[in-house]
Amino acid sequence: MHVLTVLDHPNPNSLSAAVAQYFMDGAALAGHSTELADPNAEGFDPRWTQADADGTADLSKEQDRIARADAICLVFPLFWWGMPPTMKGWVDRVWSWGWAYDQLDDPNMPLQPKRPATLLVPAGASSTTMQDKGYQAALEHLWREGTFGYFGFAPLRIEFLCGSTGSDARRKGLLHRAFECGQAIGQS
Ligand SMILES: Cc1cc2nc3c(=O)[nH]c(=O)nc-3n(C[C@H](O)[C@H](O)[C@H](O)COP(=O)(O)O)c2cc1C
């Protein structure tokens, strides 16, 4: 498979950037070809504007990358229990009405083919906090049933890489998990 990884982080030395690299290394070891989209480094403008509303924004570079991908991985740090602004804007703008979905015909029918997908989400919170406070269940529901289900991401694997600001040993473990996810693309 050809695997597109989209990374939202401005710092190439961040944990998130390393997570994306480990995921791609795992995918490559499993025999997949890999491609990285780095909207921050590429100067992607995440602001949804009137051109997006009119359907005249040129999103062909991003959409062509998606079109040639058999599987997708999104890597972004958890910011206030959601996506950080560049990933949010990338999702808002690139997965556009008429290309990704068409509410007028069938709200449950993505226009894009179904693709295996992985979300790798470094989060400062501990896994206990994520679970006990209900954050993990809430986000999984919104992303699985809403946003990414709507885009045809299936099977969808969501990995919260909790304790991302912890010790080196902790972060090493999270990178290992990202590597394993790369190796296991397509399994839910
Ligand atoms: C603006 C901002 C908002 C954040 N919000 C959350 C949050 O809601 N939940 C959480 O667990 N961590 C939160 N964090 C912590 C980040 O998820 C954490 O710093 C990141 O995963 C570390 O990875 P990095 O080194 O790749 O940035 C936030 C950090 C920032 C800067």
Tokens representing 91 are: 């999702």
> Encoding tokens for residue 182?
């790369």
**Who has greater pLDDT, 66 or 97?**
66
> What is the best residue among 74, 164, 174 to mutate for testing ligand 1's pocket, by most ligand atoms within 8 Å of CB?
164
pLDDT digit string (tens) for 151-185? 999 999 999 999 999 999 999 999 999 999 999 99
Phi-psi region of 134 (alpha: psi -120 to 50; beta: other; left: phi over 0): left
Given pLDDT bands bounded at 50, 70 and 90, which one contains residue 104?
Answer: low
Question: Is residue 165 lining ligand 1, measured as CB closer than 6 Å?
Answer: yes
Residue appearing with tokens 């885009």: 151
Ligand 1: which atom is nearest the Cα of residue 19?
26
Residue 86, both tokens: 């560049």
pTM of the entire structure?
Answer: 0.97
2-183 CATH pick, 2.60.320.10, 3.40.1010.10, 3.40.50.360, 3.40.50.300: 3.40.50.360
Query: 36 CA to middle of ligand 1, Å?
Result: 22
Mutate to test the pocket of ligand 1, among 79, 131, 142 (most ligand atoms within 8 A of CB): 79
pLDDT for residue 110: 82
pLDDT at 105: 66
